[in-house]
Amino acid sequence: MKVLALNCGSSSVKCQLFETSLEEMEANRDRQLGRVSVERIGTPDALVRSEKGESKRPVAEHCEAIEIAVSLLAEGLDGKREIEAIGHRVVHGGERFSAPVELDDAAAREIEELNDLAPLHNPENLKGFRAARDVLPHARHVAVFDTAFHQTLPPKAYVYGLPDAVWRRHKVRRYGFHGSSHRYVAYRYAQIHGFARDYKLITCHLGNGCSMCAVDKGQSVDTSMGCTPLEGLMMGTRSGDIDAGAVLHIMAQEQLTAQEMDVLLNRRSGLAGLSMASNDMRTLLELCQRGHAAARLAVDAFCYRAKKYLGAYHAVLNGCDAVIFTGGMGENAPAIRAGICDSLEALGIGIDRDRNEAAAGVEANISAQGARVEVWVIPTDEGLVIARDTLLTLAERHDRQQE
């Protein structure tokens, strides 16, 4: 089966096309046939990237972007009808969705009810579903939720110290995100080691959005993002952890509405806000080399916050076998990996300077010689997880219909 994995954002579409089957998945032989991304949707110079290169063209809206992506991916096929299924990344499944689900109008309406918990993401994910349905009307659709991997969190890890009736009424609890990424790299680490035993892992997904996860025996037991993707680590434009009292104080002093405060915390904070320069870590590291004090503070604060979570999850797991870095920053920023792992010898964590510097976007063991805890760089493949979950969901649906 040819499955399209689709990640739709507010102004971007990322597509990966896979050839997979239950047998190929079991043997780890499923193949990526191509990938296409369209960025800056809604502008006259939208950027289209594929294996053939990149180009700029006007792209008015998401349906047009998906049409462009599908046309490029279908060039090696006998037409678009070969794409039988589409797996959609959906950020928030709440308590309602603990596993992937076939996506239709009824499921989409239920997902829309969760928009308040992920206002920056869920509406865009559903926009992608409706656009893809127009482009490939014959295909079946599956929603794969970022939150699903974290459904194994115990209550003591997901509750906040709120009145019981309040948190239950409004479903305010820790859900966690980046589930497909944390799940993939944890699985891949076990696969590299021949599934010799159960592992305790700390997985670090560091991109424009950042989260960490404590994984025990392949299951998430704690994670840094919370009820929304705003909690936890400092991120590109998101504040991460902040005293709730400080939020109320700023709202009162600045006379901000809830919506304005949301914009401040989600779009104007994090690395961009603290550095007053950029949300891109590459830019900030270059500025640090030129003595930019605010950039230096932002980078140091980012690494310090991540180090605190790493230590916390080491305690939660009662020791760990490996720390895994993934995501655009985790895979390609040796200085950030070094900053996070510095001075953790007491926990058995250390990295080799040369191995770390050489590891850019490739799978690598960067552990220091003799360190008790391995440190790895493992490039994530959320698209593969989405494609496999799509295949399994449709196969299970077919089996139920045959009973």
Position 61, amino acid? E
Least Cα distance to 36 among 25, 20, 57, 44 occurs for 57
Q: How far is CA 390 from CA 84, 104, 155, in A?
A: 11, 14, 29
CA 121 – CA 129 distance, rounded (Å): 13
Q: Helical H runs in 256-292? A: 258-267, 270-275, 281-289
**Which residue is catalytic, options 146, 321, 381, 389?**
146
Active site residue 146: yes
Of 398, 401, 402, 392, the C-alpha closest to 87 is 392
Closest by alpha carbon to 133, among 6, 17, 1?
6
* Distance (Å, whole) CA 130 – CA 108: 9
Identify the H or E element spanning 300: helix 293-317
CB 311 within 8 A of CB 344: yes
Reference 220, options 265, 279, 161, 175; nearest CA is 175
Owner of token pair 């399209």: 4
CB atoms within 10 A of CB 91: 25
Q: Of 141, 230, 217, which is closest to residue 177 (Cα–Cα)?
A: 230
Nearest to 221 by CA among 151, 307, 318: 151
Classify residue 161 as exposed, middle or buried by CB count within 10 Å of its CB (0-12, 13-18, 19+): exposed
The residue type at 352: D
Residues whose CB falls within 8 Å of the CB of residue 326, separated by 6 or more in sequence, listed in order: 181, 185, 203, 204, 205, 206, 377, 378, 379, 380
* CA gap 284, 279 in Å, rounded: 8
Active-site amino acid positions? 146
